[in-house]
Amino acid sequence: MANHLIHPGFVDAYVYALTVDRVVRYIGKGRRYRAIEHFRIARDLNARRAAGEKVRALRVHNKLAKALREGRKLDYLILANGLSDEAAYEAEKAEIANAPDGQLWNLHSGGSGGDAEMMRAYWSDPAFREFCLKRQPEGREADPKWKERARERTREVWATPGFREKWMEQHRALWDDPEAAEERRELLRRVWSSKTESKEKIRAAVTKAWTPERRAAMAENRRKAWADPEFKRRAAESIRKSRTPERLRQQSDAQRERWKDPEFRAKVAAGMERHRDGRSK
């Protein structure tokens, strides 16, 4: 299923290869940013170890960290894209099986069975469990150091030459594909028609994250962006390109369907009433 919220090269499940000096060293199956997440972990390992911290890690991450220290060139390849999880697992197994003996750093033959077996073995190791718990502490989103590292990783990705242009081009292509657009809408419908408990968890998470401080920071960032003539020019151009007759018709049809729902109309009316009450105070 196409998803415009992810890297354009990483659509649905996919099979990737990690290369060191153009030699394939690791093959895996992933979704979203799984392929490049390995490099982030390797950089983080080197930084933590340089600071004197003793860190246990998976073999592939230790190998990548060493390659980085040696100044070798790391990269990734997408071998198969747009797959179901089952198809991706099978493709992963085939790629691993066809690799030259001794070339890969993979410890298992791939596939869903191999992944489950591997994780059971890892989690049977108390040291590995402790490592994972330390890597994902409770409330880490509130840690200024964690947030700054996350920001830096995002800045690195968007500063990559050509990444922004490529992302925008493929982002627009995904939205302009009627079949892909309908798949995305169906995905959202399934998510929001799921159990009430799940929807409440999503709402609670969004409410918790959308603090007054964050809203103020977002507003300030928007003001700075719109004060830039080049940003306004690009934004206006993007809006003009998106307002095609077909897109406008689809949006109009979607809104008509939503207004047929009494619950939706009641929510909008309640929101408008709260807004009026707030302005009158």
Evaluate the CA torsion angle 146, 148, 149, 151 in order and state its sign.
positive
If you average pLDDT over residues 249-257, what whole number do you get? 82
pLDDT digits (tens, 9 = 90+) for 196-243: 666 677 777 778 877 888 888 888 888 888 888 888 888 888 777 777
How far apart (Å, rounded) are the C-alpha atoms in residues 250 and 104? 48
pLDDT digits (tens, 9 = 90+) for 163-183: 777 777 766 666 666 776 677
Residue type for position 281: K
**Range in 19-28, 134-143, 152-161, 259-268 the model is least confident about:** 134-143
How far apart (Å, rounded) are the C-alpha atoms in residues 16 and 35? 6
**In this structure, are residues 90 and 114 in contact, taking their beta carbons and an 8 Å threshold?**
no
Return phi, psi of residue 136, to 5°: -130, 65
pLDDT at 4 over 60: no
What residues form DSSP beta bridges with 17? 27, 77
Sequence length of the chain is 281
pLDDT digits (tens, 9 = 90+) for 56-85: 778 888 899 999 999 999 998 888 888 888
**In this structure, are residues 157 and 167 in contact, taking their beta carbons and an 8 Å threshold?**
no
pLDDT digits (tens, 9 = 90+) for 77-86: 888 888 888 8
Q: Please, what's the b/e burial string for 57-85 (b: 16 or more CB within 10 A of its CB; e: otherwise)?
A: bbebbebbbebbeeeeebebebbbeebee
Enumerate the domain spans of the chain: 13-136, 243-281
275: tokens are 């807004």
**Range in 132-146, 149-163, 248-262 the model is least confident about:** 132-146
CB 138: neighbour CB atoms within 10 A? 7
At 70 the pLDDT is 92
How far apart (Å, rounded) are the C-alpha atoms in residues 31 and 33? 6
